[in-house]
Amino acid sequence: MRRVGGGMSAFVAFAVGVATILSLLLGDNPALFGGQAGSEELARRLALPGDVLLRLVVIVVALSIVIGVANLLFVHVGRAARGAFTSAVVLASFAFTIYWYVSRRGDTSLLEAVQVPIESALAALLFLSLTLGGARILQKRADIWGLLFVVVAVIVLLGSIPLAELAPVKALSDWLLAIPVSAGARAILLGIALGAVVAGVRALLGQDRAFRG
Amino acid sequence: MDETTLQVYSVLFVAITVVLVYTARFFQTRPGRRRKQRQLDGFERIPTWTTRSIESNRPLHLSFGGADVGGEGTPAALAQAEFFHQVIQGAKASDATPIVTMSAPATLPLGQATLRRAWAKGGTAARAQWIPPDLAFAGALTASMDIDEPEAHILAGRFGPELALMLDGANRRGQPSLAVSDRLDGQAVAYALADHVLIGEELYAAPGYDSEDGRGHGDTAVLDVWRALIIAGASVLLLLEFARRVALLNWTLVLAAAAILIVLGLFFSRRR
């Protein structure tokens, strides 16, 4: 039974994937069909399945936030029942925020008074973590690449200081950012794009385990 | 390039990739034809972590980050689901159910399905956890490091600079980590702070490293073929540009240099 279910879901994934990709690649461009009579109608019809399916995705994704909140509550109710104090705080905060929002007719001042300062404090902590991580990198990667990472980071940091004496460092920093860093970033993005295409094709063909069951 | 030409190229690119994926899978699933994967330090640590997880009864923590099903992160989320499935199966002798976290709510059903399928013992409902994104995600995970005491963290998906808080927290608690992100800022943080790091397309190659049936190996081979073609094409174009600007160079020399570069690339790639 499970095997049949897996086969069905793989077939649905394949059909939906192929319909969407063909619709996106071939639709809405009459020139692709030689611009002859009826080609506009054909291009419009080909674009329709893609439009419909993408709108469905938008609706499902918007609804998934409800699933997320339900999961958050479910996890923390279980933890609070086992005596986790922080989970009890999460649940109490959730209930109080809902009560505040409803009783004050959409007032978000509580969110701004608590959430924003906490996130700002975390952002400051993030800066410290990053600095510490940069300082410790040579402990983790004691090789030429770790050294290069630190040297480039120091040059870019020094180059961002607005001092006339550091003008040559700024020029070097600008060159580093414009040529080697940009080239490296493009190479990484290109690799990610290729990987995304292969993963997308695997999903499109219903070969992914998520669809095979 | 006009829109029609672009569409034709896109269709061709997808069609060629489909053919390559099927061809590579056909050859890689045959016994004795499977190609040897490049050694990646991060993947080699995973069996050690799963063994330790079994011995210590401490869970593994696997995170998709913000990789969102239905958005730009869909391929990353699907690739990681496959990878996590294999990691979880490796740790299934443990009594501690792995924890799967994500900050994109649409990825929650995928995470739950992955955990349920790979962890046959049940009790997985509360182990796939959605946490609000960005700094809240980092804060919550850092707090849970003390509560759940994971054996190791595998953070593979979409992360930004907030990854630094999680990795720093893991470092301070002596919990090893493997990190990779499809965002450049997250990738830089992962390189600086994670114990082991994957870079770029290795995020998508991950399923191929633990796959037993060879299909994942085939996908990795397709990735390598495309990458080699792009490197070869870029090298040839670069040399042609040089030839155009420097009068001393000629076409024969350029093609010979391109061939030498490609051979060197293949040689070093195989050695690695």
What tens digit of pLDDT does each residue of A3-13 get? 677 678 778 88
CB contact under 8 A, A213 and B117: yes
In CATH, the architecture of B41-211 is 3-Layer(aba) Sandwich (3.40)
Give residue A174's pLDDT.
92
Q: How far is B222 from chain A (nearest CA, A)?
A: 8
Kindly list the residues from chain B whose CB atom is less than 8 angstroms away from the CB atom of residue A125.
165
Contacts of B165 in chain A (CB under 8 A): 122, 125-126, 129
Whether A3 maps to a domain, the answer reads yes
In-domain check, residue A117: no
Q: Highest mean pLDDT: which of A170-174, B202-206, B240-244?
A: A170-174
**What is the structure's pLDDT at B16?**
87
Q: Is residue A115 part of a domain?
A: no
Residue B213: per-residue pLDDT:
65
Minimal Cα–Cα distance from A104 to chain B, Å? 24
Indicate whether B271 pLDDT > 60: no
Asked whether residue A185 is assigned to any structural domain, the reply reads yes
> Are A83 and A166 found together in one domain?
no
Domain boundary among A91, A107, A123: A107
Sorting pLDDT into bands at 50, 70 and 90, what band is A163?
confident
**Structural domains of chain A, count:** 2
Does one domain contain both A77 and A147?
no
User: Is there a single domain that holds both residue A97 and residue A157?
Assistant: no
- Average pLDDT of chain B to the nearest whole number: 84
Same domain? For A157 and A199 the reply is yes
Among B126, B201, B222, the residue with its CB nearest the CB of A192 is: B201
pLDDT (tens digit, 9 = 90+) per residue, B128-176?
999 998 888 998 899 888 888 999 999 999 999 999 999 999 999 999 9
Distances (CA, A) of B244 to A152, B230, B249, B255: 33, 21, 8, 13
Are A150 and A65 contained in the same domain?
Answer: no
Shared domain check, A18 and A70: yes
DSSP chain A: -HHHHHHHHHHHHHHHHHHHHHHHHHTT-GGGGTT-TTHHHHHHHHHHHHHHHHHHHHHHHHHHHHHHHHHHHHHHHHHHHTT-HHHHHHHHHHHHHHHHHHHTTS--HHHHHHHHHHHHHHHHHHHHHHHHHHHHHHHH--SHHHHHHHHHHHHHHHHTS--GGGHHHHHHHHHHIIIIIHHHHHHHHHHHHHHHHHHHHHHHTT-SHHHH-
Judgement on whether residues A94 and A168 belong to the same structural domain of the protein: no
Please write the tens of the pLDDT for every residue from B87-140: 998 888 888 899 999 999 999 999 999 999 888 877 777 889 999 988 889 988
The complex scores an ipTM of: 0.82
Residue B131 confidence (pLDDT): 92
Residue of A nearest to B207 (CA): A199
Q: How confident is the model over A149-160, as a mean pLDDT?
A: 88
Do A5 and A96 sit in the same domain of this protein? yes
Chain B contact set for A190 (CB, 8 A): 200, 230
pTM summary value? 0.85
Query: pLDDT tier at A210 (50, 70, 90 boundaries)?
Result: low
Task: Indicate whether B269 pLDDT > 70.
Answer: no
Domain extent at residue A192: 141-213
CB-CB: which of A123, A136, A207 is closest to B215?
A: A207
Q: Do residue A91 and residue A8 come from a single domain? A: yes
